[in-house]
Amino acid sequence: MLGKFQSALDRLQDDDAARVVILRSVVPGVFCAGADLKERKKMSVFEAQKFVTSLRSTFSSLEVLSLPTIAAVEGVALGGGLELALSCDLRICGAEATFGLPETGLAIIPGAGGTQRLPRLIGRSRAKELIFTGRRIGADEAKSYGLVEYLTAAGDAYRKALELAKIISNQGPLAIKMAKVAIDRGSEVDAASGMEIEEACYGQVLKSKDRLEGLAAFAEKRSPVYRGD
Which residues are part of the catalytic machinery? 35, 80, 83, 103
Instruction: Label each residue of the chain as H, E or C.
Output: CHHHHHHHHHHHHCCCCCCCEEECCCCCCEEECCCCHHHHHCCCHHHHHHHHHHHHHHHHHHHCCCCCEEEEECCEEECHHHHHHHCCCEEEEECCCEEECCHHHHCCCCCCCHHHHHHHHHCHHHHHHHHHHCCCEEHHHHHHHCCCCEEECCCCHHHHHHHHHHHHHCCCHHHHHHHHHHHHHHCCCCHHHHHHHHHHHHHHHHCCHHHHHHHHHHHHCCCCCCCCC
